[in-house]
Chains A and B, each alone.
Chain A
């Protein structure tokens, strides 16, 4: 198990390194680094000094090492717009995004699992067919359009839920959270549902396929032959088996959810990392872009690692192979 973990950690570090090279090349080789890293308001002397102090006169590979060294110390440059370290800007807004992404994941499971379960248990009923048709829509509709419709219906027409911002927040452990107040929670509902739409469809499909497969297995029939109640058969025997693929995919999708929150945050004016990166791209605040990309890559790698480990814990078969 430790060997396995170690190997996975080394792999993860390799991916981060590769991506850092990619981002570096993106910024330094494709774009003009002077334009990217030095404020456009700077005069000629400042530029000269900045070029030297940033080491832009060095060969590319040396520059990369410098970039890497600074990145390791958490220095990813300063934002032109906010004049703050880019990394701190990102980290400041990360809780809002994480909160939203977790909310969306929870919504996907709360909504998707029961619907998928129903569709899997009664595949021929009209309701199941409606659920499946809905899940196809969930896959093909653009997120931003659904977000707009949510605002139009629930915020503008019905006036039930607020459509912008985080609402009231409570500070816990030095971080502000929305979900702890009613007002904040109500601000979270629409964006969370919007963000979870794709995931809901995914969970429905996975659950349905898993249930249909499991229901045909001998172990389900044997469980019934033991005289267990239908609830126990479905919620213990079937459920535990479909949980593995669902958890894996939902976990792996978490990174995608954070990435897609870019769209949702823009629509609902949710003050997270996604909104920050869009604003930064629009004003060409490149250090923030670089910092965002590095943070996202790191998150992706960490999520993959966590999912792998969770998977190992959930499935006894994998667990023991790892031990052997």
Chain B
């Protein structure tokens, strides 16, 4: 069975005056029906740009410089803008990070929902309104009929994100790209939204890419995980295996930085240094300057992504194989 989405060697580069920024550089992954892929990385690691590349919303000076994005077997990079628009919001939906910013402040909720329905379905305005109302009810918004008349600023942050999710769900998409949708929300609301997202994927067979910097979110939600660093996927595999026995030193460092995973009282471990500038990235492994295991070899060649165990990929010449063996 073909996966819902398969990304192969995707490169998205920004051609700025100062030089080429390789925001996404040789990224490959796949998401199957009903499964959730956690795309994890620090800010600036290229995870959001990956999301925008899939949905075809990379703005100049950025563009997809290579690779393929196969959605249900069709290569999205070859589609016309028109054909992409048919997919967007219809078969592929996206949810953004900041619910305060994603809804247009001067348009009513019903306007913003009905237009989405009508963009992809020939139907009457009344029918579109009914669909919108049902979608609001589905994401747990009380008295949806009245709320349709409201403006975004009349909702709380959590409610706004529910509206955004409702909009994403209007056409029962096959793929949802969620770009840190819970980061800006309270923890309790975050939990509710995560649970609903999980239920949705399991029930409707929607594939989901959950972009986040928060490993604890991914641990509870995702089936698979891909860790990005400086525009590249440095490690990927089933979520439990990766979190229990990370191969890449960066993944290990990330896990070490999560407070809840540390023993109480023990000092938090942190990754020294900062993410490198993506402009004119030097040869070799991008993480080597911050890596405790780095050797001269790391500076010489850019490590290839390698399958170190069945289903377990890492982009490192010195992976933590011993730890995995011990486990």
Known: A232-B115, A316-B153, A317-B151. Contact between A225 and B55, CB under 8 A? yes
For the complex, what is the distance from the CA of A228 to the CA of B107, rounded to whole Å? 15
The stretch of B27-35, B83-91, B201-209, B236-244 in contact with A is: B83-91
Return the CB mask of A219-240 against B: 1 if under 8 Å, else 0: 1011111111100100011001
Least Cβ distance of B95 to chain A in Å?
Answer: 9
Contact at A222–B103, with CB atoms within 8 Å? yes
Whether A92 is near chain B, meaning CB under 8 Å from some CB there, is no
> Which residues of chain A in 299-324 are interfacial with respect to chain B, using CB atoms and an 8 Å cutoff?
314-317, 320
For the complex, what is the distance from the CA of A115 to the CA of B108, rounded to whole Å? 28
List of B residues within 8 angstroms of A223 by Cβ: 104, 112
List of B residues within 8 angstroms of A237 by Cβ: 104, 107
Contact at A316–B89, with CB atoms within 8 Å? no
For the complex, what is the distance from the CA of A221 to the CA of B103, rounded to whole Å? 10
List of A residues within 8 angstroms of B107 by Cβ: 236-237, 240
Whether A248 is near chain B, meaning CB under 8 Å from some CB there, is no
Contact at B164–A317, with CB atoms within 8 Å? no
For the complex, what is the distance from the CA of A1 to the CA of B106, rounded to whole Å? 19
List of B residues within 8 angstroms of A224 by Cβ: 57, 88
Known: A221-B96, A237-B107, A240-B107. Contact between A226 and B88, CB under 8 A? yes
Contact at B115–A226, with CB atoms within 8 Å? yes
Whether B94 is near chain A, meaning CB under 8 Å from some CB there, is yes
Known: A218-B96, A218-B101, A316-B153. Contact between A226 and B119, CB under 8 A? yes
Whether B105 is near chain A, meaning CB under 8 Å from some CB there, is yes
List of A residues within 8 angstroms of B93 by Cβ: 225-226
Of B86, B88, B97, the residue contacting A225 (CB under 8 A) is B88
Contact at B57–A228, with CB atoms within 8 Å? no
Whether A217 is near chain B, meaning CB under 8 Å from some CB there, is yes
Least Cβ distance of A132 to chain B in Å?
Answer: 19
Interface, chain A (partner B; CB < 8 A): 217-219, 221-229, 232, 236-237, 240-241, 244, 314-317, 320
18 pairs, CB–CB < 8 Å, chain A vs chain B: A218-B101, A219-B102, A219-B104, A219-B105, A221-B57, A222-B164, A224-B88, A225-B94, A226-B119, A226-B167, A227-B89, A227-B90, A228-B116, A228-B119, A236-B107, A315-B106, A320-B151, A320-B153
